């Protein structure tokens, strides 16, 4: 690095250097009844007296942008800029609130407290705000209340609250349609999306928002990352310029690919680089040696029945998770809840956080965490970029077992849904420290290396039964006429499933020559290992889930192949989607996980 290198060149060089060294997860901190993640300026970088506070969007959009926030924090750290990201009260890993009478002001106050916490942690005197969606709007609202503010980055801001809520309602319907939820299963009496409900008081305040003519300038220097074909974004940029701001405008390339689905979200790398470049230009270099802040264990968050501690663990502290323990006497085994796809560890519709607290209210401890390159855990150097359905993730589960062993919480039960269910099954077979497993809607038990993971995720295959049900639905006919169904991919999925069923019915002589026979034998081998250990295995499926197709191929139409494995039980949940969104279905799953944890002490020793 030369003495005349630009901020961009500096952070690119530091990023290349850090690629040869394993990154740790960000430092967990707690404040104001919530969890934050602090990223210090990287060693060897040119430190700045400006630190970045991230303000997240809400709901489905927050799930989609979670990895983007980590990526930006890591890039900023490489450029010598510290940062903090956090959950609003009542969301993610934050404590729940019983009332929201102050509406959006509650989240605004949390942002102001987070700003002070960031100053304390970083030792810096100046701030930069980066907000996305509703978080960008919050950034514009709280900015005038902050001193020594160098700039505000507004990424796809909510300009008009009433219009945002209308778009959210349409977006919510599309998500629910994709899940296959009936109209009577949808949440329509509140502002909601993907099972997440916005408090009514917050929604009422959001509805009144309109920052297109905001009277106060958020900051002198502003970055506007404008969504394509959004006149409101352009109008806001013009208004801020008229107020006297130095506005840098950037098109939000890849916005739709980012927020369409957290499972297949494509990171907007060009935009991320532009945001970091802008911050590096706006941030004030540090003229003296930075103050070193003592790193301490975060204070636990205490709820009525639980105590939660955010932590880092594994080699190089590369994994982030939350340990949830009961306030009273602990019973049974510790549940290790494995994440699904690229959802953060709080889970779809915050299900995992709520399940952990339910378990604690019944005396059961749990650990929920992000595997490498998921959510808030950085990737492992040398591992493939696509980590789903990969044996590399088993190393992360082993690290979780090691953590629990060191805390005398080592009697462990694994639970997970979809790819998390696959990981739970594979990890249970690989590590005898697992004493039981609850496997929910597993896509398969052994991955077929001829299948492309990205395609399996993107094209959302369904079971033949689900296709049959949908074909007679009037709603499906309306979506078909509107061009909202990919007929080619649906046809390909049906053909694959029919081929698999034909292969499963072939005479043994011919079947043994196919790859399906090899996959079936590998599956039987894993089931045998678990059976020999007498390890209870609970399989839970939604009644029309795509995973049932693999289950029936491997284990028979009615599961008759399970007769040889006395340790396996099966539960079929009617009227539930793949994500187990309906509240009644979630409770069925929670009770099974609780039962598995409480019975773990009764497991006979391995013969």
Between CA 220 and CA 156 the distance in angstroms is 19
* Distance from chain centroid for Cα 571: 26
pLDDT of residue 464: 53
**In sequence order, what are the residues at sequence separation of 6 or more whose Cβ sits closer than 8 angstroms to the Cβ of residue 482?**
none
Q: Name the nearest CA neighbour of 551 among 507, 499, 500.
A: 500
Element containing residue 152 per DSSP (H, E): strand 149-155
What residue ranges define each of the domains in the chain, with the CATH number in brackets?
A: 7-160+219-282 (3.40.50.1820), 301-602 (3.40.50.1820)
pLDDT of residue 10: 40
CB 127 within 8 A of CB 53: yes
**In sequence order, what are the residues at sequence separation of 6 or more whose Cβ sits closer than 8 angstroms to the Cβ of residue 233?**
156, 157, 159, 224, 226, 227
Between CA 328 and CA 326 the distance in angstroms is 5
pLDDT of residue 264: 83
pLDDT of residue 602: 67
What is the three-class DSSP state of 283? coil
**In sequence order, what are the residues at sequence separation of 6 or more whose Cβ sits closer than 8 angstroms to the Cβ of residue 476?**
470, 485
Residue 153 burial class via C-beta count within 10 angstroms: exposed 0-12, middle 13-18, buried 19 and up: buried
CB atoms within 10 A of CB 601: 11
- Quickly list DSSP for 207-249: HT-B-TT-SS-S-SEEEEEEPTT-HHHHHHHHHHHHTT-EEEE
Q: What residues of the chain score a pLDDT lower than 50?
A: 1-18, 467, 470, 472, 506-511, 605-607
**Radius of gyration, alpha carbons of the chain:** 25
Helix axes 392-406, 419-430, angle to 10 degrees: 70
CB 345 within 8 A of CB 321: yes
CB 425 within 8 A of CB 439: yes
- Quickly list DSSP for 497-544: HHHHHHHHHS-HHHHTTSHHHHHHHHHHHHHHHHHHTT--EEEEEETT
b/e string for 553-578 if b means 16 or more Cβ within 10 A? Answer: bbbeeebebbeeeebbeeeebeebbb
What the block records as the tokens of 347 is 């889970």
Cut 0.95: pTM above it: no
């Amino acid at each position: 690095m030369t003495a005349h290198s630009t901020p961009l060149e500096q952070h690119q060089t530091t990023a290349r250097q850090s690629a040869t060294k394993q990154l740790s997860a960000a430092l967990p901190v707690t404040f104001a009844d919530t969890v934050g993640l602090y990223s210090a300026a990287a060693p060897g970088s040119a430190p700045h007296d400006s630190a970045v506070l991230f303000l997240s969007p809400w709901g489905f959009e927050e799930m989609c942008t979670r990895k983007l926030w980590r990526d930006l924090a890591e890039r900023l750290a490489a450029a010598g800029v510290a940062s903090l990201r956090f959950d609003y009260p009542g969301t993610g890993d934050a404590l729940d609130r019983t009332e929201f009478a102050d509406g959006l002001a509650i989240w605004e106050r949390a942002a102001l407290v987070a700003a002070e916490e960031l100053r304390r942690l970083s030792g810096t005197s100046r701030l930069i705000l980066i907000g996305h969606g509703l978080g960008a709007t919050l950034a514009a609202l709280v900015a005038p209340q902050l001193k020594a503010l160098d700039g505000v980055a507004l990424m796809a801001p909510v300009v008009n609250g009433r219009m945002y809520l209308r778009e959210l309602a349409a977006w919510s319907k599309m998500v629910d349609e994709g899940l296959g939820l009936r109209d009577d299963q949808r949440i329509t009496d509140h502002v909601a999306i993907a099972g997440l409900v916005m408090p009514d008081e917050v929604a009422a305040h959001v509805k009144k928002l309109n920052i297109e003519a905001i009277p106060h300038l958020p900051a002198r220097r502003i970055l506007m990352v404008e969504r394509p074909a959004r006149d409101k974004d352009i109008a806001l940029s013009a208004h801020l310029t008229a107020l006297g701001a130095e506005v840098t405008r950037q098109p939000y390339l890849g916005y739709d690919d980012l927020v369409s689905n957290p499972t297949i979200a494509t990171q907007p790398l060009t935009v991320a680089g532009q945001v970091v470049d802008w911050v590096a230009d706006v941030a004030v270099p540090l003229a003296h040696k930075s103050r070193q802040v003592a790193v301490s264990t975060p204070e636990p968050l205490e709820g009525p029945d639980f105590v939660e501690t955010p932590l880092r663990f594994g080699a190089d502290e590369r994994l982030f998770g939350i340990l949830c323990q009961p306030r009273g006497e602990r019973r049974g085994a510790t549940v290790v809840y494995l994440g699904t796809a690229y959802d953060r560890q709080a889970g779809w519709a915050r299900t995992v956080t709520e399940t952990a607290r339910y378990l604690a209210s019944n005396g059961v401890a749990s650990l929920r965490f992000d595997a490498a390159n998921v959510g808030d855990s950085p990737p492992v150097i040398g591992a493939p970029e696509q980590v789903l359905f990969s044996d590399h993730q088993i190393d992360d589960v082993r690290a979780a077992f090691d953590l629990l062993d060191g805390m005398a919480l080592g009697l462990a039960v694994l639970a997970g849904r979809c790819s998390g269910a696959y990981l739970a099954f594979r990890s249970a077979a690989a590590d005898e420290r697992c004493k039981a497993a609850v496997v929910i809607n597993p896509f398969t038990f052994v991955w077929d290396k001829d299948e492309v993971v990205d395609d399996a995720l993107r094209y959302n295959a369904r079971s033949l039964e689900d296709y049959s049900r949908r074909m007679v639905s009037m709603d499906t006919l309306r979506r078909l006429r509107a061009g909202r169904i990919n007929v080619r991919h649906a046809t390909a999925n049906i053909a694959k499933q029919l081929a698999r069923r034909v292969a499963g019915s072939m005479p043994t002589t011919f079947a043994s020559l196919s790859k399906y026979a090899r996959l079936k034998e590998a599956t039987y081998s894993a089931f045998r290992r678990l059976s020999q250990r007498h390890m209870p295995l609970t399989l839970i499926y939604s009644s029309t889930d795509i995973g049932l197709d693999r289950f029936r191929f491997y284990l028979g139409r009615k599961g008759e192949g399970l007769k040889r494995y006395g340790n396996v039980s099966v539960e079929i949940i009617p009227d539930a989607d793949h994500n187990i969104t309906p509240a009644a279905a979630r409770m069925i799953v929670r009770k099974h996980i609780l039962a598995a944890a409480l019975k773990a002490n009764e497991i006979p020793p391995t013969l």
